[in-house]
Structure 1
Amino acid sequence: MIEFVLNGRPQKLDQVDPNLSILEWLRTKMRLTGTKEGCASGDCGACTVIIGTPDQSGKFQHEAVNSCISLIGSLHGKQLITIEAFRQEPGHPVQQTMMEQHGAQCGFCTPGIVMSLVALHASGQPDASSERAILEALSGNLCRCTGYRPIVAAGREALVQAWSPDDETHPAACLVQEKRALEATLSTGVGLSLPDGPRYDAPQTLDELRKLRGRFPEARLIAGGTDLALEITQQLKTLEHMISVERIPELSGCRVEGDELVIGAATTYRRFHRPISDRWPAFDGMLSRLGSLQIRNRGTVGGNIGNASPIGDMPPPLIALGATLVLDGPDGERRLPLEAFFLGYRKTDLQPGEFIHSVRVPMAQPGQRLFIYKVSKRLDDDISAVLGAFQLTLDGNEVVACRLAFGGMAATPARALAAETALCGQPWTEASVARAIAALASDFQPLSDVRASAGYRLQVAGNLLRRALLASDPRHNDEPMLVTDYA
């Protein structure tokens, strides 16, 4: 059984198919049809809802998420807020300004856009009304009527209207709940199942997780579900058994241990964005382009590593930094270099009963620099064609050490070992970089697919290395990201 609050009303669910998405439950079971389905893959944002998760102080942290790829079991102990929460007059300020600024055209995408802006309004961040914050909030909302100018104007006007959590008459008052109402639901593990059908377990402790993994090694692990849920919505699969890891305290959050930043496997991109970017600033631009804000609010570092995609955005920069992966299981913890975790296309070194516990990222040392460049067809909410991540240790103008890692160039995220050999011990100059670029042909034989041809990938990989050289020159702007459009 799971318990949560929907638009201020307590809900209890039992004997529900755990493959059910929040979107499908809202529309077919609750007849709350304001939330729309546009893509069923987390790309268009028409299904955006707000999830409130209580923190240790008792306050709820509200985030916009894609309900089409969020499963119903993930709601336990949380708030679910839909557009219907604001249907009483006078409505939310975002709704009012959307009308005044003519921000709605056909209207299909409008509920999701409103919810994204309401979540930004509720965040309380000091720059919420800035264009940068508004565009980030809307990065996962597709308006096919191309009405972005009035939508941004509506957001800017609405987000300057402050409100107090103590004002129970404000339309946003439904965003405030006492943690006490849900406290009992947070104390034990929960689950959903159908008689002789699919099963969903959500253990609360590391020991419970170990036992479940030991008993059911074939069960699928799920955290944010932004990738796994696509098997249900796009491939129409039924997942027979899922084990959620998002309620395990040891798997969430970031901490510093010695000279390493330790990131729990169930930590979302949004949660580790600032801790890792403060230490390695190149991550800031890359994480701002990883999926959309809705995806970053749910997707996790462990999920991005565990699905072993050759075009996952996190592995290449973590490999470039020499990150260590911590695995846990029936025989206890073991550690291995992240690059050794990937054995082949979608194949990993994860043993039966094991799970990813955390990733340990070395701190920056004197002389070290990190460059991360993502190339994709569009700026926001897109998958990489090529992602290059380069860690260089420079002594004056000499490259004394380097780690060059790429995604999209092989069956796994991988280092360019021949290019590293060509560069190490050489001056950081155009001639040395040209030799390293030539060596890339020995490192990779990329494939052609819908995102890029093999020739394009090989050429752009070299160009990214050359870009790092140019960015090192004080005469050039050291921009953290590169955007490339191609046919």
Structure 2
Amino acid sequence: MKLILNDELIEENTLPSDFTALRYLREKRGLTGTKEGCASGDCGACTLLVGALEDGELTYSTLNSCITPMQSLTGKHVVSVEYLSKTGELHPAQQAMVESHGSQCGFCTPGFVLSLAGLYENKQSSEQPIDREAVCDAISGNLCRCTGYRPIIDAGLSMFKESMFKESMVKEPMIEGSNETPYVELMSKNDSIKTQLEGLQTEPHDSSNYLQPTDLEQLAHALKSNPAATLIAGGTDLMLENTQRYRDFDALIDVSCVAELKHLHIGETSLTIGASVTYSELEDFSKTLYPQMNALLSRIASRQIRNRGTIGGNVANASPIADLPPLLLAFDADIQLLKNDGSTRVVNIADFYQGYKQTQLAKDEMIASFDVSLDKLAQFHRFYKVSKRMEDDISSVMLAVRFEEKNGTLTDVRLAFGGMAATPIRGLKAEAALTGKLINDEQALNQSIEALRSELTPMSDMRASSNYRLDMACNLIRKAWLELNGTDVVTFSGHAVSDSILSTGSEASNHA
């Protein structure tokens, strides 16, 4: 394993495959600014900033170091909070937190600072403005229990002011006797870091217990040589076995860099999504092409999790509360399964789940990709997620809707639910009640809702009762029908909340 940790080239060959980046920083390097809060990727106290070369550009993203194997960061630039003030001058994110009084006990502060620093580095290098929504997205995986978020958001919004002030200092003579060096160098523009990373890209990334194949040929060899190894992609769920259940893994095969599993492109008839595509990558891809999909992705987990979690992992994990399976179910997506011997087979998403945590995946198979029909993507669709928090929370109810309409008549209807049962499910009777009816037939809508009440018996748990889930599901179907018929139904699904709402609560009734 070779990587750059802050400003030092690290070579390490003795780590267990599942040794986390958090443990490595604290136990092996004495970098204790990175904190352990939850050990499950929920609180953000352990946030790290990781730089990688993409098409010759150095870009940074955040991750939860408590659930990230250290060896997965081979060939990267790993930044801990100690590096931000390496010159003796605070990074604009740090200075803004000081000026905005964004810290009290300080335990969560390093994570917040790194999340804001990542936003600063990427936004500054692209010369895009920072707004409230961008700040809230950046810190969506960072929890604060004492300061409150207003001063932290203020800090994020003021980072460029701090930066401009420091840049102006460079043009003026320094105060005589001062040892301070203004912080003007962007990490993303650091040519020394870029050069070192370019050199690391040419070196093999495999160790004896952590393999990172980059194509299917290498993957096949790794699987053949290590038949007992465990596959890992983002590891945002798998690593909980290590941190929460204290399971030790032997060899791990990391499929997140396999080129053929990273495809994300539009073909003649379908959108192909590789299994190792991350939530963030699909989010960026869908921003203008598929805004409804983009809106749902922004509600999944947190920025740190979306930067590592993969589409294939979300589906293969077979969790009843996963948010992407209902979306794929609404579009009748096909799943390409890849065997260890290189052969493939296709299974429709409707047939993939066999029961709680049970799928059609054989022991020698993995998900390779998903194919979603372009024709169906062009039809009316909506995705609604109901949860207690706006971000970094699990769905109480998830509904994915697709309506096909011809000449004012519904010719195909999909109502796919998550968080309701042991597997993602469809409301088949409710779909049938709407199919063949005029799009504005309210009687058909009411019949569909009654059909749904007769066919679904949602589970009850700590998140919601069965009755609540059923009522919410019925209301969401009505909401989708209203949108189909042109009613402007405002959905509160983002971070761009006006100051008037925050301070007075006014207009709150306008948001559903």
When normalised by structure 1's length, the TM-score is 0.91
Tell me if the contact between 1:404 and 1:415 (Cα under 8 Å) persists in the aligned partners.
yes
Secondary structure of 1:51 counterpart: strand
Q: Which residue of 2 aligns with 1:464?
A: 476
Q: Which residue of 1 aligns with 2:317?
A: 307
**Following superposition of structure 1 onto structure 2, how do residues 29-428 of structure 1 map, counting pairs within 5 Å?**
29-57=28-56, 59-88=57-86, 89-124=88-123, 125-160=126-161, 161=163, 170=183, 172-175=185-188, 176=190, 177-187=192-202, 189-193=204-208, 199-214=209-224, 216-329=226-339, 330=341, 332-364=343-375, 368-428=379-439
Deviation at 1:184, TM superposition (A): 4.8
Tell me if the contact between 2:383 and 2:400 (Cα under 8 Å) persists in the aligned partners.
yes
Q: How far apart in 2 are the matches of 1:471 and 1:38?
A: 42
Deviates more, 1:265-274 or 1:28-37: 265-274
Q: Structure 1 residues 214 and 410 mapped into 2: Cα distance closer, same or farther (>3 Å)?
A: farther
Tell me if the contact between 1:217 and 1:352 (Cα under 8 Å) persists in the aligned partners.
no
Tell me if the contact between 1:127 and 1:133 (Cα under 8 Å) persists in the aligned partners.
no
Tell me if the contact between 1:374 and 1:482 (Cα under 8 Å) persists in the aligned partners.
no
Q: Which residue of 2 aligns with 1:196?
A: none
Q: How far apart in 1 are the matches of 2:183 and 2:276?
A: 34
Q: What runs of 5+ residues in structure 1 fail to find an aligned partner?
A: 194-198
Deviation at 1:267, TM superposition (A): 1.0
Give the AA of the match of 2:15: V
Q: How far apart in 2 are the matches of 1:478 and 1:156?
A: 26
Between structure 1 and structure 2, the one with the greater Rg is 2
Give the AA of the match of 1:132: E
Deviation at 1:126, TM superposition (A): 4.5
Q: How far apart in 2 are the matches of 1:406 and 1:258?
A: 29
Deviates more, 1:85-94 or 1:434-443: 434-443
Q: Which residue of 2 aligns with 1:430?
A: 442
- Structure that is richer in helix per residue: 2
Q: Structure 1 residues 83 and 331 mapped into 2: Cα distance closer, same or farther (>3 Å)?
A: closer
Secondary structure of 1:297 counterpart: helix
Deviation at 1:302, TM superposition (A): 0.8
Q: How far apart in 2 are the matches of 1:356 and 1:187?
A: 28
Tell me if the contact between 1:280 and 1:370 (Cα under 8 Å) persists in the aligned partners.
no
RMSD: 2.4
Q: How far apart in 2 are the matches of 1:169 and 1:222?
A: 42
Give the AA of the match of 2:304: Q
Q: How far apart in 2 are the matches of 1:309 and 1:172?
A: 44
Q: How far apart in 1 are the matches of 2:35 and 2:493?
A: 33
Q: Which residue of 2 aligns with 1:9?
A: 8
Deviation at 1:70, TM superposition (A): 0.9
Q: Structure 1 residues 284 and 75 mapped into 2: Cα distance closer, same or farther (>3 Å)?
A: same
- The percentage of aligned residue pairs carrying the same residue is 40
Tell me if the contact between 2:453 and 2:470 (Cα under 8 Å) persists in the aligned partners.
yes
Q: How far apart in 1 are the matches of 2:136 and 2:493?
A: 17
Q: How far apart in 1 are the matches of 2:363 and 2:235?
A: 21
Q: Which residue of 2 aligns with 1:451?
A: 463
Q: How far apart in 1 are the matches of 2:11 and 2:48?
A: 19
Q: Structure 1 residues 317 and 417 mapped into 2: Cα distance closer, same or farther (>3 Å)?
A: same
Give the AA of the match of 2:71: G
When normalised by structure 2's length, the TM-score is 0.87
Tell me if the contact between 1:203 and 1:209 (Cα under 8 Å) persists in the aligned partners.
yes
Deviation at 1:213, TM superposition (A): 3.0
Q: How far apart in 2 are the matches of 1:47 and 1:465?
A: 40
Q: How far apart in 2 are the matches of 1:482 and 1:174?
A: 29
Deviation at 1:253, TM superposition (A): 4.0
Secondary structure of 2:206 counterpart: strand
Q: How far apart in 2 are the matches of 1:126 and 1:425?
A: 51
Give the AA of the match of 2:385: K
Tell me if the contact between 1:373 and 1:482 (Cα under 8 Å) persists in the aligned partners.
no
Q: How far apart in 1 are the matches of 2:248 and 2:70?
A: 14
Tell me if the contact between 1:437 and 1:465 (Cα under 8 Å) persists in the aligned partners.
yes
Q: Structure 1 residues 482 and 297 mapped into 2: Cα distance closer, same or farther (>3 Å)?
A: closer
Q: Structure 1 residues 417 and 132 mapped into 2: Cα distance closer, same or farther (>3 Å)?
A: same
Deviation at 1:353, TM superposition (A): 2.0
Tell me if the contact between 1:371 and 1:389 (Cα under 8 Å) persists in the aligned partners.
yes
Give the AA of the match of 1:425: G
What do residues 188-231 of structure 1 show as CA deviations (whole Å, max 9, x unaligned)? Answer: 653345xxxxx322112211212333454553221111111111
Q: What runs of 5+ residues in structure 2 fail to find an aligned partner?
A: 171-180, 496-507
Q: How far apart in 1 are the matches of 2:193 and 2:120?
A: 20
Tell me if the contact between 2:326 and 2:424 (Cα under 8 Å) persists in the aligned partners.
yes
Deviation at 1:437, TM superposition (A): 1.8
What do residues 295-345 of structure 1 show as CA deviations (whole Å, max 9, x unaligned)? Answer: 111111011111111111111111101111111121512212122221111
Secondary structure of 1:190 counterpart: coil
Deviation at 1:387, TM superposition (A): 0.5
